[in-house]
Structure 1
Amino acid sequence: MDPSVQAGPATASADRYALVGERGLDVDLSVSGEPWGTRFDWGCSYGGKSWAADGSVMYDLVVVRDDGSVQTVASWSAAGEDARGLSASTDVQRDDIASVQVRLRGDDRVLADVDL
């Protein structure tokens, strides 16, 4: 490995958010502005509901830019009572993001969100 390349956690300080959503969805979200864009780290719980491991319930993490355009930056399937250690990134700069949302896959309704 090239010694000038360093791997590791996000270098910028992260802003932390607690999103309380519909149907018992709770999301702990960390948002870090990086030189290359924005990093997201999160975990969520499903209000005590334990989803089947068949992957039939899918969620999307969506960013809404200041201009109103949207980008799905991550997707995951619900299995068990929670999901931890999720992370994703986008080339969209932190200052250009108006809000972050969690939605059911294929549905425009917002289950949980936070304005940045």
Structure 2
Amino acid sequence: MNADHARYADWDAAYVLGALSAADRAEYEAHLAQCAECRTAIAEIAPMPGLLSRVTPERAESLLRAPEAETPTPEHRARVLSLAAERARRRRRTWVAGIAAAAAIVVAAVAVPAISAQLRPPSTTIALEQLRDAPLTASVSLTDVAWGTRLDMICDYGSEGDAPADGWAYALVVVSDDGTESVLSTWRAHPGTTARLSAGTELPASDIAAVEIRAVDSGTVLMRSSLDGS
């Protein structure tokens, strides 16, 4: 704190409002150049003139006409300005704290998804190719996990298709590099429906040669996607 701070501690509001004489203003500005605390005080109450400008002439005149109002002494004016400055400082501190809190929330909101995305296991989504005349479209996402591979499938059955009352039965099958076939899940489809399912295999994704959808009753491969390029 500047050694002369006590003398000028209450001058900030008068300075901001333009109430200082030319000599006092020059003196205070010389002090500001040396006192960081007073510069901070000025910054905190800088919005005061803008706030006071919102008071309409009618409102100001009505206050002056109030019967109980007394002509303020210079000491009273200084005290009022000091109190106003302190209140402005408090409001500004609250406002700054609110902005800081909001900024922290925004940073957290941005950072958490970013961190989550970094921690999320990598996945590969493949579209299955239709091998038979069936109203199916499907895609499968393969995700490496600690125990093997998780498969998340979405399969749409077109509304123009037909089906028995209990629907058509389908199976999700993976074929390993050595030709081993594993049925991971089965479901029934009706026209205009979408099947969403998750299944898993102990095989790592690198050991999966193909993913297929087969008709359960006949074993016919209806859709397939090769992961090994074959």
Q: TM-score scaled by structure 1? A: 0.79
Residue equivalent to 2:127 = 18
Equivalent position to 1:90, from 182, 195, 201: 201
Query: CA offsets, 1:46-102, max 9 Å, x none?
Result: 2322645624x1100000010001000011111342324311111122111100000
Residue 89 of structure 1 aligns to a residue whose secondary structure is strand
1:113 aligns with 2:224: yes
Are the equivalent residues in 1 in contact too, given 2:129–2:225 (CA < 8 A)?
Answer: no
2: CA distance between counterparts of 1:43 and 1:53?
Answer: 22
> What secondary structure does 2:206 align onto?
helix
Q: Distance in 1 between matches of 2:149 and 2:193?
A: 24
Greater strand percent: which structure? 1
Q: What one-letter code is carried by the residue in structure 2 that aligns with 1:27?
A: A
Task: Tell me, yes or no, if the aligned pair for 1:60 and 1:73 is still in contact at 8 Å.
Answer: yes
For 1:79 and 1:46, how far apart are their aligned partners in 2? 7
Check the 8 A contact 2:214/2:221 in 1, yes or no.
yes
**1:18: how far off?**
1.6
Q: Is the 8 A contact 2:170 2:188 kept in 1?
A: yes
Asked if 2 retains the 8 angstrom alpha-carbon contact of 1:64 and 1:99, the reply is: yes
Which sits farther off after the overlay, 93-102 or 38-47?
38-47
- From 150, 166, 170, the equivalent of 1:54 is 166
Name which of structure 1's ranges 23-32 and 41-50 shifts more when overlaid on structure 2: 41-50
Please give the TM-score of this superposition, normalised by the length of structure 2: 0.42
User: How far is 1:20 from its partner?
Assistant: 3.4
- Answer whether contact 2:172 2:213 (CA < 8 A) is retained: yes
Q: Give the number of aligned pairs.
A: 105
Please give the alpha-carbon distance, in whole angstroms, between the structure 1 residues aligned to 2:157 and 2:166: 16
Larger Rg: 2
- Select which of 142, 149, 174 maps to 1:31: 142
CA distance in structure 2 between the aligned counterparts of 1:107 and 1:54, rounded to whole angstroms: 16
Residues in 2 aligned to 1:106 and 1:47: alpha-carbon distance in whole angstroms = 20
What amino acid is the match of 1:65? S
Q: Percent identity at matched positions?
A: 35
Structure with the larger RCO, 1 or 2 (CA within 8 Å, 6+ apart): 1
Q: 1:44–1:84: 8 Å Cα contact kept in structure 2?
A: yes
Whether the 8 Å contact between 1:16 and 1:28 is mirrored in structure 2 is yes
1:39·1:89 contact (CA, 8 Å) conserved in 2? yes
